[in-house]
Amino acid sequence: MYHKLFFIFIILLLSPVATICTTDGKKESGHFYTVTKVVDGDTFWVDDGSVKGLKIRLIGVDAPESRNTGRKEMAYYGKEASVYLSWLIGGKKVRFEYDVDRFDQYDRTLAYVYLENGIFVNANLVKNGYAMVMTVPPNVKYADTFLKLARKARNRKRGLWGE
């Protein structure tokens, strides 16, 4: 009996899809994924083992558009935001934390993203002026944090708030 329980415990512990509960009960991925492509300053792809990969949209932030698309035009500081995110996470391993909604209307996975060294990517972009705060309820877990960081970035003239 104890051998079976021990075996089940080891399997769960080593499982790549294991999840960890945060203090507020939301789940976060205990698995790290390699970033394969940065689309722009707030969207990227990771290798999740599928053929296509998994498209991630950062929760709570909005980076300026880095290129012209059918619906939107390239915006001031868009290229810089995209280059910065590529430098920050390109080819690196990240883990996810989720809020209430797991997907957006474009079927992108919505996530708060952390590097292996603990850097909170969403907050880092706002803090350094590469993204603005974009709160879309019900995903508001870090809205207050992002607003404080945005005020500091604006006051310090960082990134898109510079001259």
Catalytic residues: 57, 65, 108
First to last CA, the chain: 68
CA gap 51, 83 in Å, rounded: 25
Burial 34-50 (b: 16+ CB within 10 A, else e): ebeebbbbbbbbbebee
* Residue 8, amino acid: I
> Both tokens of residue 135?
């709160």
> Both tokens of residue 94?
């990240």
CA gap 88, 94 in Å, rounded: 11
